[in-house]
Amino acid sequence: MQFALWDIYSGLQRLIQQEEGQDLVEYALVVALVSIVAAATVGSFGQAVVALINYIVTHYLALVG
């Protein structure tokens, strides 16, 4: 049992010390941040477009009707 835990511990230490996967993690973090910002921007921009369309429809109906 003690050897199995030591193998797991030493394997985790090797993973932590390796730098080969750091670029992939950094790219993933950048993509996640860009996605969050884009979603927030599209959400607020979408609400502004809906408000503009409602404004146009309301004023158009007032002119026609």
The confidence score (pLDDT) of residue 54 equals 93
Whole-angstrom Cα distance, residue 3 to residue 9? 10
Confidence of residue 55 (pLDDT cuts 50, 70, 90): very high
| Cα 25–Cα 23–Cα 33 angle in degrees, nearest 5 | 45
**What whole-number percentage of the chain has pLDDT above 90?**
26
Residue-range domain boundaries for the chain: 21-65
Q: How far is CA 21 from the centre of its chain?
A: 20
pLDDT digits (tens, 9 = 90+) for 31-41: 999 999 988 88
Distances in Å between the Cα of 6 and the Cα atoms of 19, 34, 59 are 22, 40, 74
pLDDT in tens, 3-30: 777 888 887 777 777 666 667 788 889 9
